[in-house]
Structure 1
Amino acid sequence: MYSLLLTIIYLAFISLGLPDSLVGAGWPVMHQDLGVPQSFAGILTMIIAIGTIFSSLASERMTRRFGAGLVTAVSVGLTATALFGFSFASEFWMLCLWAIPYGLGAGAVDAALNNYVALHYAARHMNWLHSFWGVGASISPLIMSHALTSGMGWPGAYNVVGIIQVILTVVLVLTLPLWGKVNTLTPSGAHLTEVDASPGSSEASASRTAHLPLKQVIRIPGVLLVLLAFFAYCALENTSILWATTYLAGDRGVNPATAAAFASFFLLGITGGRFLAGFFADRVGDRTLIRGGFLLVGLGGLMLLLPMETHAVALAGLALAGLGSAPIYPAIIHSTPANFGRQHSHAIIGIQMAAAYLGSTLMPPLFGALSSWVGLWLFPIFILFLAAMGLVFSERLNRLVDAR
């Protein structure tokens, strides 16, 4: 039972990653077919981000009422509907319309699954969960590439991913009874047990606690610290993904093809690093993973900053920054119940998701504006600042929790 439910959760996170890179992979063709400027991709991603933030904040209330399984199934179904809508869109405004349910579905399933795994599974599973997101995000550009080269066109890619989401929705609906089982860690964290969600169980108890308004959650000591640390991490991750190639080619003079290849190593470092972190996450603990991750990102940023004639150090620094980034997101999420209590975890994780999307939405354009003013050389300094910000606030949270 435990393994079957975990497999379904992994599949759900692959499906969460699948649509995330479809817009970027298909946009060079999509904007031409739709007759809009290339820059309009920002409008589309902004609408998706707004919907994701809204549903992340509402996720706790919905999950308390309907349960994590049903919320996940409905959210995946909503995303599937939006993807089919994308495939039939013949005008840009139609894409904008379908981007609304797309964002709403993605945010709800993200927060619900992250909280469920944080409550009921060991740290290794949280790392592997986010590694599977990377698998989905890596597969969808291949689907788009096949659709474009086979004559299906970009609508065909959205149809394929939509069909995958529909299949997963059916699987989730058929396996809803599994979510009534609560997997809890022993106090030592040595192994997992499976118990019924009876009135005395942790999940049942958590569901009976009152919904926490946003203002009340923010006032919980330490919540602002973890939100700022999470904001900083997601900002540096997405700024690196968007601007690393431009920095390497435009400021360091790296061949564009080589720069693009090594920029992909940043994502590969995140995906592979999360898979590897799963094997020792339970032994070293979330705090060590977060601290070590930010320090590795900082070291990678320093390697990017060094004014050396060879490009090898800068390229290796970018790959190292990706490896350091790998465990930070899962560890922050997984440590939430321990830091703030199981009864508060879902409300706080929902707000963390919102902070994550704010960081990933606002900071890459901010760097773009700054770099056009002062130059692309600012990139490693920008990454170093965000890594330092994340480390400082996460360490302050640790001291606050220890003091309690």
Structure 2
Amino acid sequence: MVIPPDRKAVCPAVYSLLLAIIYIAFISLGLPDSLIGAGWPAMHSDLGVPVAFAGIITMIIASGTILSSLASERATRRFGTGLVTAVSVALTASALVGFSVSGSFWMLCLWAIPYGLGAGAVDAALNNYVALHYAARHMNWLHSFWGLGASISPFIMSHALASGHEWSSAYWTVGLIQAVLTFALLVTLPLWGRVHPVAARDAQAASGQGSEHEPIERAGGHVPLLQALRIPGVVLILTAFFAYCALESTSILWASTYLVADRGVAPATAAAFASLYLLGITAGRFLAGFVADRIGDRLLIRGGFAIVGLGAVMLALPVPTDAIALAGLVVAGLGSAPIYPAIIHSTPVNFGRRNSQAIIGIQMAAAYTGSTLAPPLFGAISTWTGLWILPLFLLVLVALGLLLSERLNRLVRAQAASVEVA
């Protein structure tokens, strides 16, 4: 492989500078995600609405996120990853500032629309860009930085409320951070097309498509939704991704309640260990980054699901001590860590770089759908069966994700073997 002279000169510096911007962007992606949950106890009281109305806001945001994820492929091909990312972050910034000046519930609903539209497009565009241009370790570390951002925003909200300010000041602060990032993204727009697509080499080898030096966003034409869904293996990975995000969101929402109601754990202890599930994901992604390039995405996915399964079994064991169940929650968090980044990073290799943006957009939609639907579904099931069923619910999702991801691996190997024979 011969790298053009201009790329030889510019790539190292541009690679590092743009990677730093992307790391900051992933922190910024996580910041808004936990603001509503952290601030809603004060928000609903000030706005004079029931606690349950938080679900309306989150459903509007989720709907916008799913729609923009599905539209991200067309937008990215037309305008490029850099501009789509900058505009999406600007949308999120405007929505957060809009939240900060909202004095009624209907205004929150209105601002929730750009809130969701910005989140979905930037998530799909950035994940595809990283999958194509950077090694697997960066995908894991970047998603660890997302967890850092999601962990910071509750502290911003807590500080705002504890210091006598209203919840709106937390939204204003995070909105200002997003606005600064928007400016940085606009300044660095010329860099996005100058990073050599190192990850695309593997994708090209797997798909046999396109020139290695063809601009990623414009390689080939638009891939319609139905055409992407007909690509062999896409439905398998979408369902596996749905299963993973369903088990993650269900664990986050219901683990503490399960520990208290079914295992008799003290509420304070249960809350602490429920937070350790999220910290386990963040720490696990950081640690996975050190081995991701050596062991590969497939093993990370396989091992991740297996470890989550072990954690779910530990949660369910009928032993007199709570220590095993509490440890099981931490183990499940560590196992969850590499699955999401590895599924995204393997997309260009499994389906070809021409198709990766379309498929990652659909994957994001599947992820948000699983995260939105699974927790209330479990809530409905548990009203009939009891909360004891949580470990079993998680094990079913683990089995579904593992089975379908392994079927995809066999399909990809069979396709590669047929290409070699031909």
- Shorter-normalised TM range: over 0.9
Name the structure 2 match of 1:97: 110
Q: 2:38 aligns with which of 17, 25, 41?
A: 25
What is the CA–CA distance in structure 2 between the aligned matches of 1:81 and 1:206, rounded to whole Å? 26
Contact 1:86 1:155 in 2 (8 A): yes
Which residue matches 1:55? Answer: 68
Q: Which residue of 2 aligns with 1:88?
A: 101
Go from structure 1 to structure 2 and tell me whether the alpha carbon gap of 1:260 and 1:185 turns closer, same or farther (over 3 Å shift): same
Please name the residue that 1:391 is paired with. 402
- Corresponding residue to 2:222 among 207, 211, 216: 211
Q: Distance in 2 between matches of 1:247 and 1:5?
A: 43
For residue 52 of structure 1, report the CA deviation from its aligned partner.
Answer: 0.2
| CA distance, structure 1, for counterparts of residue 386 and residue 213 of structure 2 | 53
- The amino acid across from 1:86 in the alignment is F
Alpha-carbon distance in 2 for matches of 1:37, 1:185: 51
CA distance in 2 between partners of 1:297 and 1:182 (Å): 36
My pick for the range that moved more, 206-215 or 178-187, is 178-187
Are 1:183 and 2:183 counterparts? Answer: no
The one-letter code of the counterpart of 1:402 is: R
1:341-380 → structure 2 map (5 Å cutoff): 341-380=352-391
SS in structure 2 opposite 1:180? coil
Q: CA contact under 8 A between 2:81 and 2:126: conserved in structure 1?
A: yes
Q: What CA deviation, in whole Å up to 9, does each residue of 1:341-360 have, x standing for no partner? A: 01100000000000000000
Runs of 4+ in 1 over 2 A off after TM superposition: 182-189, 199-203
In the other structure, the counterpart of 1:334 is 345
- Closer, same or farther: CA 177–206 of 1 in aligned 2, 3 Å: closer
Structure 2 counterparts to residues 283-294 of structure 1, below 5 A: 283-294=294-305
Change (3 A) 1:201 1:392: closer
- Alpha-carbon distance in structure 2 between the residues aligned to 1:10 and 1:58: 24
| Amino acid in structure 2 at the alignment position of 1:256 | P
Superposition CA RMSD, Å: 1.3
Report the counterpart of residue 418 of structure 2 in structure 1.
none
- The worse-fitting range, judged by mean Cα deviation, of 292-301 and 210-219 is 210-219
Looking at structure 1, the residues matched to 30 and 200 of structure 2 have their Cα atoms a distance apart, in angstroms, of: 32
Do structure 1's residue 37 and structure 2's residue 50 form an aligned pair? yes
TM-score scaled by structure 1?
Answer: 0.96
Other-structure match for 2:26: 13
Q: Which of 305, 308, 312 is matched with 1:297 structurally? A: 308
1-structure distance, mates of 2:162, 2:177: 20
- Report the Cα offset of residue 182 of structure 1: 2.7
Matched, 1:320 2:331: yes
- Pairwise CA distance, 1:180: 1.7
CA contact (8 A) 1:14 1:136 kept: yes
How far residue 200 of structure 1 moved from its aligned partner, in angstroms, is 5.8
Structure 2, gaps ≥5 residues long: 1-13, 203-209, 416-422
Q: Which amino acid aligns with 1:179?
A: W
Number of residue pairs matched?
Answer: 395
On the 8 A contact 1:49/1:103 being kept in 2, the answer is yes
Match of 1:142 in 2: 155
SS in 1 for 2:320: coil
Change (3 A) 1:80 1:46: same
Deviation (angstroms), 1:185: 2.2
Question: Structure 1: where are the runs of 5+ without partners?
Answer: 190-198
| 1:188 CA drift (Å) | 8.3
One-letter amino acid of the counterpart of residue 174, structure 2: V
The DSSP-based 3-state class of the residue aligned with 1:183 is coil
Distance apart, 1:210 and its partner CA: 1.3
Counterpart for residue 89 of structure 2: 76
Question: 3-state SS of the aligned residue for 1:184?
Answer: coil
2:243 aligned residue (220, 232, 253) = 232
Partners of 1:183 and 1:252 in 2: CA distance? 53
| 8 Å Cα contact 1:206/1:342 also seen in 2 | no
The Cα of 1:213 is off from its aligned counterpart by 1.1
Among all aligned residue pairs of Structure 1 and Structure 2, give the percentage whose two residues are the same amino acid.
74
Tell me the residue number matched to 1:194: none
Contact 2:132 / 2:200 at 8 angstroms: preserved in 1?
no
* Counterparts of 1:207 and 1:187, CA distance in 2: 14
Cα contact 1:182–1:203 (8 A) shared by 2: no
The amino acid of 1:49's aligned partner reads: A
Structure 2 Cα separation of the partners of residues 205 and 284 of structure 1: 26
Amino acid at match of 1:312: A
State the match for 2:260 in structure 1. Answer: 249
For residues 259 and 160 of structure 1, what CA distance do their matches in structure 2 show? 31
Contact 2:31 2:150 in 1 (8 A): yes
* CA–CA distance in structure 2, aligned partners of residues 171 and 187 of structure 1: 26
- Mapped to 1, the partners of 2:52 and 2:366 lie a distance apart of 24
Distance 2:271 2:105 in 1: 29
Q: Give yes or no for contact 1:131–1:274 (8 Å, CA) kept in 2.
A: yes
Structure 1 residue 209: Cα displacement: 1.1
The answer to whether the 8 A contact 2:28-2:146 is kept is yes
